[in-house]
Structure 1
C-alpha cells in the first residue's frame, strides 16, 4: 500500500491545529478563552461599584420605573449605556456581582467576533491566539476589565463594526458599509468620542472609483443615523428634547472645557506603560499592513481603527485607564501578527535546535505579553471587596466606593421603602443599593459647579421632596443643606467610611 508522505516544506509548516475542521477550531478557541476569562474574572466579582457605574445603574432603574433620563434624573452620557444596564437590574439584587456578571457576559459575546476578524487577518492559529490573548488581557484587573463603564460597554458594537469593515475591504456589497455605520451609531449612543476618527475608514473599502467610495460613505452615514431616530422620537414624544440636548451637548461642552486644564502627560505615560509590551508588538503587526493585497489592507484598517481609539482616549484629556480599554482588541489583533510570523518557518526545514529556539522565542514573547495581566489578576485572589476597591482605586475606593454598600444597608434599616434620600457627593450607587429614590434629579455634585441655577433647583427639590436620610462626605455638608436638614430634625447619626449619615433621631434608634 502506498503511503502518502507530505513534502518536506508541508511537514515543516503544518501544526496540530491546522488539520482541525473550522467549526471545531473555533469551538476550541472559545473554550480556551472562556476558561481563561473565568479564571481571571470570577475571583473579583465582588469589586464594589464605582461612581459612573452607580449613576448608570440608578438612571437605568428610574427609566425602568417609568422615569426618563435627563428630565427626571440628570446624567450626561448617551442613553444606550442605561439600556445596557437594565438586564443586570432585572435579575437578582442590583449589586456589584450582578453587574460584574453581566459585564462578563457582554465580554464573552465579543469573542466569536474577534475570532472571525482574526481569521480574516491571519489564519486559524492566529485567530485562536487572538481570542485567548484577548480573554486574558481583556480581563486584566488593573485595566478595569470588570468595570462596566462606557468604554467597556461600547466594545461589543465596535467589534461588529470592525467585522463589517474588514468585510467591506474585500467586498463591494453596500450592506457591509451600512452595517459598519449602524455599529458606529450604536457606539455613538454609548460614547461617541472615537466615532469621528472611525467613520472615514469606510473609504478604504472595496469600491469602483471615487463615486463608489462616496456612495459607501453615504450608506455608512445612513446606518450611523438610524439608531438616533428612536432616541429623538422618544424624547420628542415626551417633550424632553431640550433636556436631552442640554445633557448631551451643552453640559458635555462645559465639562470638556473644565477638563482641559487637567491633562497630564506624566499620568498618560504611566497608562501606556501598563500596555507597552502589547503596544510595541502591535506596532510590528501594523507594519504587516498595506494597500495592495486584500489581507494586508484589512490589517491596515485594523491598525487605523486602533489608532482611532487611542486618539479618542488622548482627546478625553484625563489620565483614566478605562479610556484606553476600547483599543485593546485592536492591539491584540495586531500583536498576533508578530507572534504568528515568528512561529512560521522560513525556507527549508530547520534543524531541531533552530526549531527549539524558535519555539522558545514564541513562548518568551507570549510570556512578556500575558504574564503582567495574569500576575496582576492573580494578586487579587481572596481579597475582600474593600481591599479590591483599594487595590484598583486607592484610598478613594476604600473610603467611598467600598463604603456605599454599608451606607446603603444602614439606610435600608432606618427608612421605609417609600422614603426619599439625598447624597451630597458623587456616589449614586447609594441610591441603587439602598433601593431608595433620590430627593433631587441631581444625583451627584458635578453639575452644581457647571449648570446655571442648579444649586437653587437642588434646594427647591429638597424642600419639596424632603429626604428621610442625608448622606455627605465626612464634614462636608454645605450650610444650606445642613440648615434644611436640621430644621426637619435630622441629626448626624453615624459615620461610615468617608460618609456622614444624617437621620431623624427616632429612625436612628431603630
Structure 2
C-alpha cells in the first residue's frame, strides 16, 4: 500500500549504518547478555521496562546478533502500524480523505527530527503503535483493549502510559458504567503486575519506577536541557507550520470537538518533559496526536489548496531530514568501530572488558562480554548528555551500584579497560574507584579512536 511505501522510503537511512545512537548499542548488548543466561533487573540492568530488551533478544535468537537490520525492519512496521491506527481514528471522525492525511502526517512527522533520533530502533518507535492502538480502542469503547494497549506502551517506555489520560476522559464522557471502568483499569494493571511478578517485584519497581531520582533532574544541565527542549520542539513544529496555522484558525472548534486528542497531546508533552532531558527522540511521542490534530484542521478548512500546501510542506520537511540521514557523517560510527576493533584484537572471545564511557555499542561491535552489569558510566555517575560536573559523581550513582560494581570486577577482572571518557566529567581522574582500579591493576597500552586502553597486569 502507498502508506507502507512512504514509511519504508523515509526510513531508508536507518539501514545504512550499523547503529544510530548508544541506545541501540545498549539494547543490543543487553540482548546478548540475556541470551547468555543473564536475568533482567538482576545482572542485566536498565532504567527501562522489559519489552524492548526482550524483543531485541528474540530477534537476535531468530536471525543472529551481528546486525540490527531485523530491528530496523520491525521499526518500519511499528511506524506503519502507528500510522494505520491514527488514520483509522481520523477516518472514523472526518472521513476517508482525513484518514489518509492523518496517516501521512504520522509517517512524515516521525522523521522530522535529527536522524539519530528518528532512524534508530529504540524505545519511542516501538512504544507508539501501542499508544495509538490504546487511543483507537478507547475511541471505539473497547476498554479492555485500551487498557492492555496502554500497558504494552508503558512496558516499552514508562511514559507510554500517559495515553490512559485520554482513555479515561473518553470513558468519563461516553461510558461511565462501573464495568467499563473495571475493564480499562484491569486491562492496564494485570499485564503490568504480571511482568513485575515475572521479573521480580522488588527489582522491577526499583529499575522501572523508583531508581531514577537523580537522573530525572536538571542539576548541572538546566541550560543545555532547556535549549534542547526549545530546539527540538521548534524543529518538529516547523515541519508542520502550515497545518498548525490552519489548526489555529479552527482552534476553538478543535478544542471543543477534539478535547480527547488535545488531552493526548498534553499528556505526551508531559511524557517528553519527564526527566528534564528533552532528547530529540522523546518528541516522537507527540507525533500521533499532533498528526490527528493537523488532519482535523485540514478537514475543516474550506480552502483545499491551503490543505494541499500544508501536507506538501511537511513532506518536504521530511525529505530534508531523510536527505540529512543519507548524507550524515559516519565519523562517530567509524570511531566506535575503531575502538571495538582494538578491543577485539587484544582479547579473546571468552574474556570480559570494561568500557568506561557512554558507548555500550563497543561491547556489541567487539562481541565481548561486559565486566559489569552497568553498561555505561551514566549508571555509576549519573552522567547524561549535556550534564556538567555539578550533577555527576560517585555519590550520584544508582543506589548500591558501586558495591556491586566493585564486587563484579574483583570476581572477574576485565582483561581490558577502555577509558572512553574523553574529558567528560566522569573521567577516571574525577571518579576515585575507577582511578584506583586502573592504578592498582592495569597498565596503559595505547589509544584507539580517542579512547585510552588499559591491560590487566600480568595477563
2:213 is matched with: 253
1:500 aligns with 2:432: no
CA distance in structure 1 between the partners assigned to 2:133 and 2:454 by the alignment: 48
Given that 1:151 and 1:322 are in contact with CA atoms closer than 8 Å, whether structure 2 keeps it comes out as: yes
1:285–1:334: 8 Å Cα contact kept in structure 2?
no
Which runs of no fewer than 5 residues in structure 2 stay unpaired? 381-395
RMSD: 3.0
Work out whether 1:337 is the aligned partner of 2:296: yes
Given candidates 418, 431, 436, the residue that maps to 1:471 is 418
Measure, in 2, the Cα distance between the counterparts of 1:200 and 1:112.
19
Q: What is residue 363 of structure 2 aligned with on the other side?
A: 431
CA contact (8 A) 1:118 1:130 kept: yes
SS of residue in 1 equivalent to 2:42: coil
Q: Residues 488 and 271 of structure 1: is their aligned pair in 2 closer, same or farther, counting only changes over 3 Å? A: closer
Q: Secondary structure at the match of 1:234?
A: helix
The 3 A distance-change label for structure 1 pair 268 and 229 is closer
Shift in Å at residue 252 of structure 1?
Answer: 1.6
CA distance in 2, matches of 1:271, 1:384: 20
- TM-superposed deviation, 1:424: 0.8
* Deviation sequence 1:409-434 (CA, Å, 0-9, x none): 22223321111110111211111222
Confirm whether residue 158 of structure 1 aligns to residue 90 of structure 2: no
TM-score, length-normalised on structure 2?
0.83
Contact in 2 for aligned 1:285/1:337 (Cα 8 Å):
no
Offset at residue 106 of structure 1 (A): 2.1
- Bigger-Rg structure (1/2): 1
Q: Choose the corresponding residue for 2:112, options 140, 165, 180.
A: 140
Would you say the 8 A contact 1:421–1:468 is kept in 2? yes
Matched, 1:422 2:354: yes
Q: Partners of 1:333 and 1:285 in 2: how far apart?
A: 14
Shift of 1:505: 9.2
**What is the match of residue 150 of structure 2?**
184
> C-alpha distance in 2, partners of 1:428/1:85?
15
CA gap of 1:379–1:315, structure 2 versus 1, over 3 A, is closer
Q: What do residues 217-248 of structure 1 show as CA deviations (whole Å, max 9, x unaligned)?
A: 33211110121233232234xxxx43333222
Aligned residue in 2 for 1:116:
88
Between 362-371 and 198-207, the greater mean CA deviation after superposition: 198-207
Shift of 1:202: 2.5
Q: 1:224 aligns with which of 184, 188, 192?
A: 188
Matches within 5 A, 1:178-327: 178-193=144-159, 195-196=161-162, 198-199=164-165, 201-205=167-171, 210=176, 212=177, 214-236=178-200, 241-257=201-217, 262=222, 264-277=225-238, 278=240, 280-281=244-245, 282=247, 287-289=252-254, 296=257, 299-327=258-286
Work out whether residues 185 and 228 of structure 1, in 8 Å CA contact, stay in contact via their aligned partners in 2.
yes
State the Cα distance separating 1:332 from its structure 2 match: 0.9
Match of 1:172 in 2: none
SS state at 2:16 partner? coil
Deviation at 1:456, TM superposition (A): 3.9
Q: CA contact under 8 A between 1:200 and 1:217: conserved in structure 2?
A: no
Shift of residue 129 of structure 1?
1.8
Once residues 287 and 505 of structure 1 are traced to their aligned partners in structure 2, the CA distance between those partners, rounded to angstroms, is 71
Instruction: List gaps (5 residues or longer) in structure 1.
Output: 1-30, 169-175, 345-357, 387-397
What is the TM-score normalised by the length of structure 1?
A: 0.76
The aligned length equals 430
Name the SS of the counterpart of 1:110 in structure 2: helix
**Residues 434-449 of structure 1 mapped to structure 2, 5 A cutoff:** 434-448=366-380, 449=396
CA drift at 1:135: 2.0
Cα deviation per residue 1:37-63 (whole Å; 9 max; x = unaligned)? 222221342343422222222222222
Taking the aligned partners of 2:442 and 2:284, their CA distance within structure 1 comes to 47
Question: Could you say if the C-alpha distance between residues 140 and 208 of structure 1 is closer, same or farther in structure 2, counting changes exceeding 3 Å?
Answer: closer
Quick check: 1:458 aligned with 2:405?
A: yes
Bigger CA drift: 470-479 or 365-374? 470-479
CA shift for structure 1 position 309: 0.4
Structure 1 residue 209, shift from structure 2 partner: 7.2
Distance 1:93 1:460, change over 3 A: closer
Task: Give the direction of change, closer, same or farther, for the CA distance of 1:79–1:375 in structure 2 (3 Å limit).
Answer: same
1:132–1:261 CA distance, 2 compared to 1 (3 A): closer
Shift of 1:470: 1.2
Distance 1:148 1:319 in 2: 18
